[in-house]
A = this chain, B = another copy of it.
């Protein structure tokens, strides 16, 4: 992982000062590096000895960082990982362009590795992620988004990169179709679990207070699974409330507390967490098809870590 960080920092460099400045702001602000870890573990578990997996892992993290930069612009977010979002510090313009730069660097790094199959998987993910974000844009401000539509969104915007990050491990280690599919399934299910946990955390999770800033999704009018469930299960009065807050953005003092109360009343947060657990269990099931040993254990721990954030 240290090598991944080294590559990330060196490849975020540029003669154009602003680029490393913004990239480092994000990269060193304590992301969990979950995605590159998947690539490393899924290659090393097959005894892969080269350095290609480290470069692929770094390019996965660059793709993710580019997405964060663009997301913050799209969502008009003020904060990211407890710091001011890059767009608040350097502006939307620089965030869009530095995101583009990191994406270009990510592809250059993948090309350096030279695996056309890994390139196919990750470039496919890149298009799918953007597609998921556009889909979410359409779903935003629509409280009648169905659970199925919401799952399509997170499958694309979050799970696709987790799935691809895991799959390129056995790809670069020259493994067969079955383990590649198992690694991909593991990554996908973990990604879905991860996103649902995030959704639940934004309303405080299942415990009282995690010291995490909550209510970002609410203030941005994002329709996430807790909302989808609450709208489906709630009364007409509930729907009037959700419509005013999320579609019309007319949020008043105390509305976040009222929202959490309405979510809890219909078990929307607890059930979101339960679905995350289910996806986590699916991820563990996929792991059974991959070689046992310390890397498999680490991947199982990643699932436990994900879920533990919320319970």
Residues of A whose CB lies within 8 Å of any CB of B are 14-19, 70, 73-74, 92-94, 96-98, 100-101, 103-105, 107-108, 110-112, 114, 116, 119-120, 123-131, 133-135, 137-138
8 extra interchain contacts, Cβ-Cβ under 8 A, other than A19-B131, A94-B134, A104-B129?
A: A16-B131, A16-B134, A74-B93, A93-B137, A97-B133, A100-B130, A101-B127, A111-B119
Pairwise interchain contact B74-A97, C-beta atoms closer than 8 A: yes
- What are 27 A-B contacts defined by CB distance under 8 Å? A14-B134, A19-B131, A19-B134, A70-B100, A73-B96, A74-B93, A94-B134, A96-B96, A97-B130, A97-B134, A98-B130, A98-B134, A100-B103, A100-B130, A103-B103, A103-B126, A104-B123, A104-B124, A104-B127, A104-B130, A108-B123, A108-B124, A108-B126, A110-B123, A111-B119, A116-B116, A119-B119
Contacts of A138 in B (CB 8 A): 16-18
Closest CB in chain B relative to A100 CB, distance in Å = 4
Pairwise interchain contact B120-A18, C-beta atoms closer than 8 A: no
Q: Which residue of B lies closest to A107 (CB)?
A: B123
> How many copies, total?
2
Contacts of A105 in B (CB 8 A): 127
In the bound assembly, the distance between CA atoms of A104 and B161 in angstroms comes to: 13
Pairwise interchain contact B94-A107, C-beta atoms closer than 8 A: no
Q: Which residue of B lies closest to A63 (CB)?
A: B104
Pairwise interchain contact B104-A134, C-beta atoms closer than 8 A: no
Closest CB in chain B relative to A7 CB, distance in Å = 15
Among A98, A133, A138, residue most surrounded by chain B Cβ atoms (within 10 Å)? A133
Closest CB in chain B relative to A91 CB, distance in Å = 8
Pairwise interchain contact A101-B131, C-beta atoms closer than 8 A: yes
Given A120-B108, A120-B111, A129-B104, A137-B18 contact (CB < 8 Å): yes
In the bound assembly, the distance between CA atoms of A133 and B97 in angstroms comes to: 7
Contacts of A17 in B (CB 8 A): 138
In the bound assembly, the distance between CA atoms of A18 and B136 in angstroms comes to: 11
Closest CB in chain B relative to A115 CB, distance in Å = 9
Pairwise interchain contact B137-A94, C-beta atoms closer than 8 A: yes
Closest CB in chain B relative to A282 CB, distance in Å = 24
Among A100, A128, A133, A138, residue most surrounded by chain B Cβ atoms (within 10 Å)? A100
In the bound assembly, the distance between CA atoms of A81 and B70 in angstroms comes to: 25
Contacts of A127 in B (CB 8 A): 101, 104-105, 107-108
